[in-house]
Structure 1
Amino acid sequence: MATTTAPTTQSLSHAVRWQSMAEARTVEAMIDYRDAEMARTALIESSLRRKIERSAIALTIGEATGMSEAQVQLRLSIADRVRAKTPQVWDAFIDGRLDFSRVRDISAAIEKLRRDESIARLDNRVLAYATSHTGAELRQWLRRFVQRVEADLAVERAEAERAERHVSVAHGDDAMAWLNAYLPSHLAAAIEARLRTAARKPADPDDDRTVAQREADLLVAWCTSSDAATSAVDANIAVTVAADVLAGAAAGFAESTDGRWAVPASWIADVAATGSTFWHRIVVDPVKDDVLSHEYLGRFAPDTLAAALQFLHGVCQAPGCMVPAERCDLDHRIPHPHGPTTGDNMGPLCRRHHNLKGHGLLHWSTSQPRPPTKPMVIEIYQPAPTIDVEYVPA
């Protein structure tokens, strides 16, 4: 009698590793061919002929692999950089523990680092994270690593890029155009937050526009109406800043709670100096990660606890999910009424993962949520509300 073997998640993991190993073998074969050709052409007496034949190496590799010359050159440059500067990362790539997309992202971080000790530190630390997190999470981790390890140089690059801010218009087909703005991230986030909030306010029953259409129309109105252009930006943004950076004792960045962007802390200080900001300080219990010591009766968290949890976690707490916390439900890890309505028993879950958890399909340990990494959260409002709130555990 014939037997069948049901597929397992382990077989999926093996398939992914074999694919990563195949990528590594392809890159190794490219390197071997290039190095052999460089050695062969070194014996050519004519410098012109030698230059011509070497310029065709990438083309020949591309013909064999179905890649363009630019793709081949990119892979070779990434391989050379990673192999020479981060040998542990290279070994993990050859072994199939890292795929090429993660190696490419690590290579981009290496390119930004300027100090040998910083690159060595990256090589020692990145594998533990890269092999256990998604590509999006790794890119955020790498950005934070570069900003924290070489904060002074990262601030210099940010200041240089801020000088390049501009707006451009590209006209397309069908009577439409793209309006693009290259802006500091905290200002772009303020615009995004204001658009999102204003477009979702209750609309006229006869207004059949989608939310996206209302956002586009609002932006046009704000840019073309003098009254709208001079009105206060009603935006609610949360960032985290290390205490020494906030005090000016060290260079560093203020990072958004969802991890999508970060700006030099001095830029946030400039906003604070205008007097139009409102600050929340959230103190986290170092043992329980409880943002408030109070226990609330009932199922739903009050506004103060909800805001604290959103700013603390930043994103959905399901593994690998990057949905911003403000668009998530607040979930009881131990379900209500058995679990309390407290900071250490609640966290954001996007609606999809919340539903999966409710149906028992989210295989995620309620005793080991994604740990918060934000010991201090600063919330920026414009215009300033009149009430200040401080969260302090008992």
Structure 2
Amino acid sequence: MTALLDATDTQLAMLADLVASLEAAEATLSSMQAARDGMLAMAGRLAVDIARAGAHPDHGDMAIRTVAAEIGAAQHVSDRTIERRMAEASWLVERFPTVWQAQGDGRITAAHARVIVEAGAHLDDDTDRAAYAAEVIELAVHESPNRLRRMARRIAERFQERSITERHRDARELRRVWVKDLDDGMAELGARGPAVLLHGMFDRLSQMAHAVQEENARAARDAAATLPTDDRTVDQLRADLLADLVLTGTPAGHETEEGLLGEIRARIEVTVPVLTLMDDDAPTTTTTPPAELDGTIPIDLATARTMAGSATGWDRVLTHPISGALLAVDRYRPSEQLRRHLRARDQRCRFPGCGIAARKCDLDHTHAASTGGATSDTNLSAFCRRHHMLKHHSPWNVDQRPGGVLKWTSPTGRTYIDRPPLQNTVTFTAADPAPVPF
């Protein structure tokens, strides 16, 4: 190895100064974070004291939320984030004061403190907890948080009053799955559950990924060199397999006799400006906004186009062209309720003389949605594919009047009125008034 062999004495001295300065900066940051934790814990205690003095029936829950909202608004941070920080800080300051003090002195970092607190979270006895903290702090001074985690767990286990079986039974109640949004249209899916199940899930995904890789390698050897190859890594394959299993699989252990769970499909909400959706150059231009998932997470245009092409329904958001203010919302694709309504109303193709059943027809906007036409029963009607194409690709023109009445104008200027068929129902008329006796 030749790294740094050519460094001068001056450069090595500069490196030594940088290392010392970074060490001091890290100690200062740890102290400042400890000070922040102390203030957050104090804010939580203040909220509880106010609630206790007022005998609040929620035992301070709303008071804590109120204080968290006050702090969050001042710091431009979500009040949920502040409330979580307050709870974590209170746990550290009140239950592990020696750990908090060690962090404040700069002996350990905030990451070390988290490891110690997490490993000893179930120690309820004050004496045991103090003894555990004293032993682990001495290790934390010389170890990285990653190495410390295993040591801390082993030491904490010695002080546990309850068996692992009892504690695991309680911990199972906290199992959950969550999503954390990332940059560049990405997100993380996290899971908390029994270790044997999660490790088993990961192992099965790994076996599947390796099997796919081996099959791809075999196919590549047997196929022509010109064919495309699958060069996904094991990590990428695990992620793709997990998405495939969750989005298309059926939870056999929870399925109902009617197969209801297998019929459930994932739902997401994507917002994309129509100009962005139509612009082939949109991925490289900054003149139009990107597509967004749930109104917050930017996603790539290729994914947005795929979603738009396969969506069962669009909510069209109409905005002011200058201010961008919301004006109205409707759907490009009609809902199932609206489809049923139109099938019942029209019963057949609405071109004059056509009798194709409405269930075999397309639903078409009389006034095109692309130019502002609403997705409603006053702007939709059923056309068979033949007359649907005729409407869009010939001089025939149609106008919808109140009551679903269509006025067709032919290329020669003649007009034809097509009314919705009469319903197969019973109607009533007002009875003649009874004769007035003389």
TM-score clears 0.5 = no
Q: TM-score, normalised on structure 2?
A: 0.37
Q: Larger radius of gyration, structure 1 or 2?
A: 2
Q: Which has the higher contact order (CA 8 A, sep 6+)?
A: 1
